Chains A and B, each alone.
Chain A
């Protein structure tokens, strides 16, 4: 990435959505709990490949890396995640509606 050609720097900003702030907080706290390091976070980000940097937003990549690291650390299993995600989806259609 560094040194590649690219277009003008986009100056648009946005306020962080609450789900993005929560991802950020979980990444910090997951490290404080000793489940992974910042290098583990980076490694999973890089494993996603260049395509992920085109198709996913910043915090979409982060939540993916967070999940990968927590599963590797044994905090929960892939199966538990899948079950929980189905359960969350069944609660409603919007982020606000599915909070437990």
Chain B
């Protein structure tokens, strides 16, 4: 059981409680969503199939995409160079749809750690990592990541050496950051595929480190 919620009868396959959805009292905002969707379909703006296809595409994105990019960068120095120079083009080269946004990869090294946040809202490299976790969108994270990032990292279980430089990157709507974590030691003989399994979502946000082999 990945999380210890009290109501174990109502956990989804991912171990999270279901949010009130189809069976709760209809809310004002849900009513608005349905109305907007139906109006757009009636006016010929969109088809129900297009809307479902967009949801499917979103559901298909996961941190595995980002992990594949990181693992490639760890094993292919020329690709890593291209990734650091132009993250969008490098990700597209691997077949990921990045859209019009600028993707900036920031590299963790032996003396520098990077952390990403969107203080305005929720800008996130969703094309490579899927939808942002809830905590990324909370005012607590967005406020404190720039005010006391080391304390925030401690809450995620990451204790940085005092002499390590910590850079916090504030995302914008058209500029998204992704952290290129440092390759763990003892992974010299692993393939890119096995390396990708060590790359966690949080390690690409900077709130975590890659798993040890």
Contacts and interface: CB of A to CB of B under 8 A. Distances in A.
Interface of A: 1-26, 28-30, 33, 38-39, 41-42, 45, 53, 56-60, 63-64, 66-67, 70, 75-76, 80-81, 84-85, 87-89, 92-100
B30 to A, nearest CB: 5
Given A13-B134, A26-B51, A2 B26 contact: no
Given A2-B142, A10-B138, A21-B58, A92 B36 contact: no
B32 A80 contact: no
22 contacts: A2-B170, A3-B143, A6-B139, A6-B140, A10-B140, A11-B155, A15-B18, A17-B20, A18-B21, A21-B55, A22-B51, A25-B51, A28-B58, A39-B173, A41-B173, A45-B121, A64-B29, A81-B36, A94-B22, A95-B22, A95-B24, A97-B26
A58 B122 contact: yes
Interface string B30-61: 11111111111001011000110011001100
Nearest to A96: B22
Contacts, number: 182
B14 A89 contact: no
B211 interface: no
